[in-house]
């Protein structure tokens, strides 16, 4: 334990070097694993990205590669995979992964600038992402979600810190948010709480809905954020549409609205999707009801925590949890949508260590139970669809329960308790 404490207290730059080393080691190991094991370490999407990049390099559409359903920007980023080496993409995604760590530290340190140990707290928070096994695996296996996470963190960084001063910070925040939405649709839900956080009015729980709506008229900061976000998103989308037509719109965006995945899917909708796989429904009532509840919860969380700049990161984190939990398709990389935001708020949960460990284990065990039966289905050809669905229900309930617990113990600027210590010293 003493050695672990010593390790945690190393300078931040040493942690960054360790994080880079771990990722490089796993990228090298991936080559060995792929060569000698039946189940590859490299994500299947990485080969899809590389093939799409080859099509782009030859002057063709990236969508000539079957199952490529991402922005062409990802294919462009992967062109060096063809020209330089096949590991370039993994190195690039890992670099974005490391940059997320730096962004988290800057953001947390800025939020807690009035606390004596702000730098220490920010370092602890950033290490939760840097050494997160899931985030490391996602990037080193060749998944591109770390890129979208980076742009979300950057949008918050420009919006809430003084890295760039003046009104230009709101323009840059909007640009970063627009890029992230173009790459992945999910950051779209963050736009509402980000917009509310710039409002000149102070909202409280007793504020009437009428007053709330009347005060939604944009001020200069909100206008700059909105116009730059919409302008960036439109420019990128229009450019890609000009190059690749309707195929781009369908494969990148529309497909995901109607996607059904009966494998690799943690969703509570997994078994329902399996049973209705061959049915064509004009209106899927079950899915519609889920989406209505999802929308209401996301809206309430945005209104409840998005109005105060201090609680904006928690609004985004909680919205991301709901967005993933209620999605009709959930794969492991979706978890980084909220795990990349978790380090921004982890210091604000007032709870004892035993409770924190219990909550972490509950989430991990819920996921592990699902993975066990998914393994039996895919690799042992066992008919365990009902059991997988039951584990999906358990995992869904675990996610909702844990988010509820986090809301209850959320205390802005708690700072792992250092804030309380600072106040006690000041009072004495």
Q: Return the top range by mean pLDDT from 28-37, 187-196, 377-386.
A: 187-196
**What are the two backbone dihedrals, phi and then psi, of residue 102, each rounded to the nearest 5 degrees?**
-65, -45
* Per-residue model confidence (pLDDT) at position 245: 93
* Per-residue model confidence (pLDDT) at position 37: 85
Measured distance CA(51)–CA(64) in Å, rounded: 9
State mean pLDDT over 60-66: 93
State mean pLDDT over 341-366: 92
* Per-residue model confidence (pLDDT) at position 107: 95
Residue 410 scores a pLDDT above 50: yes
Residue 110 scores a pLDDT above 60: yes
Other beta carbons within 10 angstroms of residue 209's beta carbon come to 8
pLDDT in tens, 260-277: 776 667 888 888 877 777
State mean pLDDT over 90-99: 96
* Per-residue model confidence (pLDDT) at position 207: 57
Residues 6+ apart with CB under 8 A from 357: none
pLDDT in tens, 155-203: 999 999 988 989 999 999 999 999 999 999 999 999 999 999 998 776 6
Q: Which residue has the higher pLDDT, 394 or 425?
A: 394
Residue 315 scores a pLDDT above 90: yes
Give one DSSP letter per residue of 225-266, joined into a string: HHHHHHHHHHHHHHHHHHHHTHHHHIIIIIHHHH---SSS--
Residue 102 scores a pLDDT above 80: yes
């Amino acid at each position: 334990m003493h050695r672990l404490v010593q390790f945690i207290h190393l300078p931040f730059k040493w942690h960054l070097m360790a994080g880079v080393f771990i990722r490089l080691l796993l990228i090298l190991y991936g080559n060995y694993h792929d060569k000698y094991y039946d189940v590859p370490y490299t994500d299947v999407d990485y080969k899809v990205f590389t093939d799409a990049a080859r099509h782009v390099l030859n002057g063709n559409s990236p969508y000539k590669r079957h199952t490529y359903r991402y922005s062409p920007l990802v294919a462009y980023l992967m062109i060096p995979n063809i020209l330089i080496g096949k590991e370039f993409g993994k190195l690039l995604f890992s670099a974005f992964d490391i940059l997320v760590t730096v962004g988290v530290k800057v953001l947390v340190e800025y939020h807690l600038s009035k606390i004596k140990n702000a730098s220490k707290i920010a370092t602890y928070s950033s290490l939760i992402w840097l050494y997160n096994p899931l985030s490391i695996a996602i990037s080193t296996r060749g998944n591109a979600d770390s890129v979208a996470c980076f742009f979300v963190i950057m949008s918050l960084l420009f919006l809430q810190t003084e890295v760039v001063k003046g009104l230009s910070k709101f323009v840059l925040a909007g640009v970063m948010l627009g890029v992230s939405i173009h790459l992945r649709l999910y950051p779209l839900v963050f736009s509402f709480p980000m917009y509310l956080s710039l409002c000149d009015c102070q909202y409280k729980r007793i504020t009437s809905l009428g007053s709330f709506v009347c005060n939604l008229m944009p001020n200069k900061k909100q206008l700059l954020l909105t116009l730059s976000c919409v302008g960036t998103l439109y420019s990128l989308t229009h450019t890609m549409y000009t190059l690749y037509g309707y195929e781009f719109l369908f494969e990148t965006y529309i497909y995901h609205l109607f996607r059904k995945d009966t494998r690799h899917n943690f969703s509570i909708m997994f078994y329902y999707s399996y049973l209705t796989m061959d049915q064509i429904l004009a209106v899927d009532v079950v899915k519609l009801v889920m989406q209505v509840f999802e929308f209401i919860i996301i809206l309430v969380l945005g209104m409840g925590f998005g109005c105060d700049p201090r609680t904006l990161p928690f609004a985004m984190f909680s919205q991301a949890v709901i967005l993933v939990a209620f999605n009709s398709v959930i794969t492991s990389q979706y978890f980084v949508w909220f795990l990349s935001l978790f380090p921004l708020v982890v210091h604000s949960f007032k709870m004892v260590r035993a409770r924190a460990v219990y909550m972490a284990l509950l989430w991990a065990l819920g996921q592990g139970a699902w993975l066990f039966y998914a393994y039996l289905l895919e690799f042992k050809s066992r008919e365990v669809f009902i059991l997988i669905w039951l584990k999906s229900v358990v995992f869904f309930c675990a996610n909702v329960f844990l988010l509820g617990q986090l809301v209850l113990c959320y205390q802005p600027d708690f700072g792992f308790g250092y804030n309380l210590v600072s106040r006690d010293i000041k009072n004495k």
